[in-house]
């Protein structure tokens, strides 16, 4: 039986009008439309958020927290994704946005840039001593981790086992605030200001880690209006661009930014789930071994393309680059210090990444083989145009659903039409027969 998955998206049937947009947008074929309502196949969903982007009815709700939910913490620290800064005019300094975050109700803020620099250096250190299979795959995007666990279970050992900047930043924030306030770290809420819902899954499931240092996440788009209001009321702080965020930290928000510190000839950067899937297919076939590292983002252009942001991803990327030019280059931490912490074991994940392969057609391979033959037989009678009218995203997915007993063959209108035509033909023959019999009787 499949394990229980945590998810960060909820489908609300009341608001769904069954338009099938989400079913067509889903890169992992995790959506079906039954009785004019979209429903999610929990074991297939990897929380990429493509469905949120295309839903016109707001029927898909991200399970991020609202500001009001944060009252359960005695003290809250906001840790903004660098994608947050790219939502605003690039003249506005991160210092002003950080100040505005405090006005919105956070007790304190933690800058992500130092943690980004720590992770870049820790990755270099890890790679220099790594003797396993190449390429290593970045594990900072939770959707990528889930994709590998579900679709590429044999590649889990190639996920880079280094903590993400947001985790390191949360740990730093908790340690600092605990010292300052005297509160135990678990009563301090570390809140990620997130561009996507997938971070919620990473907090709940903490893959590769025995725990997450983050407590929850609030989405950029939920916060945006309040924050924009607060921003307009704060005076530009003197610190301005010298506020602890750096260009190297900003670069984590978009494609190609992070591996900037790694040797370029050995690195690939890929964004957009369909592109990542093509690359991982190649990795699984033993290609791309000459690359030591692949940076993978589920969203187009990276975190700036997250489904819970407000700015267009390409505009946000341009803004992030411009802002980076104004910020100190970085790094914001000393290499020696990172080496020391690395030796203390503060960067390498403490658990292996588990795989969670999709449930096969049957747990018993002999029965799976029979079902696969049946699937192909059904598939050969389908039109092959993947029209979606049956409520499955492709004829192949539909044939599988039929074999698994989750859909009826008659849901395919082409199949039904052919069936009915045959029945009508049968009926016509019977009518003719009856007439001729009547004729004999007379």
Residues at the interface with another protein (CB under 8 A): 151, 153-154, 281-282, 284-287, 355, 357-358, 360-363, 365-366, 368-370, 372-373, 376, 400
Distance CA 76, CA 416 (A): 58
- Please calculate the CA angle 33-39-44 and round it to the nearest 5 degrees: 110
Residues 6+ apart with CB under 8 A from 248: 113, 116, 117, 120, 260, 261, 329, 330, 331, 332
Of 77 and 399, CB closest to another protein:
399
CB of 352 to another protein, least distance (A): 14
Residue 213: both structure tokens together: 């240092």
Residues 6+ apart with CB under 8 A from 78: 101, 102, 106, 108, 109, 110, 191, 193, 218
CB of 284 to another protein, least distance (A): 5
Give the pairing of strands 216-219 and 188-194. parallel
For residue 136, the cross-strand partners are 293
CB of 295 to another protein, least distance (A): 20
Of 335 and 373, CB closest to another protein:
373
CB of 363 to another protein, least distance (A): 7
Of 156 and 299, CB closest to another protein:
156
Distance CA 346, CA 151 (A): 30
Of 222 and 284, CB closest to another protein:
284
Of 360 and 410, CB closest to another protein:
360
CB of 2 to another protein, least distance (A): 13
What 3-state DSSP class applies to 316? helix
CB of 262 to another protein, least distance (A): 21
Rg of the Cα atoms in the chain:
26
Of 32 and 151, CB closest to another protein:
151
Q: State the sign of the Cα–Cα–Cα–Cα dihedral 106, 111, 112, 114.
A: negative
Of 337 and 406, CB closest to another protein:
406
Q: What is the DSSP letter of 355?
A: P
Of 369 and 413, CB closest to another protein:
369
Query: Which helix or strand (DSSP H or E) is residue 219 part of?
Result: strand 216-219
Contact, 135 vs 158, CB < 8 A?
yes
CB of 289 to another protein, least distance (A): 10
Contact, 140 vs 133, CB < 8 A?
no
Query: Which helix or strand (DSSP H or E) is residue 201 part of?
Result: helix 198-205
CB of 364 to another protein, least distance (A): 8
Of 132 and 345, CB closest to another protein:
132
Of 156 and 220, CB closest to another protein:
156
Helix axis angle for 142-151 and 198-205, nearest 10°, is 70
CB of 278 to another protein, least distance (A): 9
Of 206 and 356, CB closest to another protein:
356
Chain Cα centroid distance, residue 345: 27
CB of 248 to another protein, least distance (A): 31
Residue 252: both structure tokens together: 């984590």
Distance CA 378, CA 428 (A): 27
CB of 189 to another protein, least distance (A): 39
Distance CA 191, CA 282 (A): 37
Query: Which helix or strand (DSSP H or E) is residue 77 part of?
Result: strand 75-80
């Amino acid at each position: 039986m499949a394990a229980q998955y945590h998810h960060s998206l909820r489908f609300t049937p009341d608001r769904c009008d069954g338009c099938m947009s989400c079913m067509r947008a889903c890169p992992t074929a995790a959506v079906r439309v039954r009785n004019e309502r979209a429903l999610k196949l929990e074991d297939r969903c990897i929380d990429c958020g493509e469905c949120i982007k295309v839903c016109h009815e707001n029927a898909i709700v991200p399970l991020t927290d609202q500001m009001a939910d944060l009252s359960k913490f005695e003290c809250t620290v906001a840790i903004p994704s660098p994608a947050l800064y790219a939502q605003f005019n690039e003249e506005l300094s991160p210092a002003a946005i950080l100040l505005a975050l405090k006005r919105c109700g956070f007790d304190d803020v933690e800058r992500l840039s130092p943690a980004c620099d720590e992770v870049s250096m820790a990755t270099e250190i890890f790679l220099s001593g790594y003797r396993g299979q190449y390429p290593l795959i970045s594990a900072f995007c939770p959707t990528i981790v889930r994709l590998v666990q579900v679709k590429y279970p044999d590649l889990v050992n190639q996920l880079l086992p280094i903590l993400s900047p947001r985790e390191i930043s949360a740990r730093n924030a908790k340690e600092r605030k605990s010292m300052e306030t005297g509160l135990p770290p678990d009563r301090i809420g570390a809140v990620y200001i997130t561009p996507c819902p997938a971070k919620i899954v990473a907090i709940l499931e903490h893959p590769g880690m025995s725990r997450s240092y983050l407590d929850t996440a609030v989405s950029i788009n939920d916060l945006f209006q309040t924050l924009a209001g607060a921003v307009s009321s704060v005076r530009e702080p003197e610190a301005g661009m010298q506020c602890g965020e750096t260009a190297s930290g900003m670069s984590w928000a978009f494609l190609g930014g992070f591996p900037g510190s790694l040797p370029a000839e050995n690195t690939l950067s890929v964004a957009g789930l369909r592109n990542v899937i093509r690359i991982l297919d190649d990795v699984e076939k033993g290609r791309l071994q000459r690359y030591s590292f692949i940076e993978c983002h589920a969203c187009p252009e990276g975190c700036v393309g997250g489904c819970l942001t407000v700015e267009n991803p390409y505009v946000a990327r341009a803004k992030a680059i411009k802002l980076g030019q104004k910020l100190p280059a970085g790094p914001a931490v000393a290499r020696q210090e990172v080496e020391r912490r690395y030796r203390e074991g503060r960067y390498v994940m403490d658990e292996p990444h588990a795989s969670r392969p999709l449930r096969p057609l049957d747990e018993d391979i002999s029965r799976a083989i029979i079902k696969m033959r049946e699937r192909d037989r059904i598939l050969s009678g389908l039109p092959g145009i993947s029209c979606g009218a049956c409520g499955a995203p492709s004829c192949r997915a539909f044939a599988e659903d039929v074999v698994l007993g989750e859909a009826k063959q008659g849901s395919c209108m082409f199949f039904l039409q052919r069936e009915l035509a045959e029945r009508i033909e049968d009926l016509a023959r019977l009518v003719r027969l009856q007439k001729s019999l009547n004729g004999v009787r007379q």
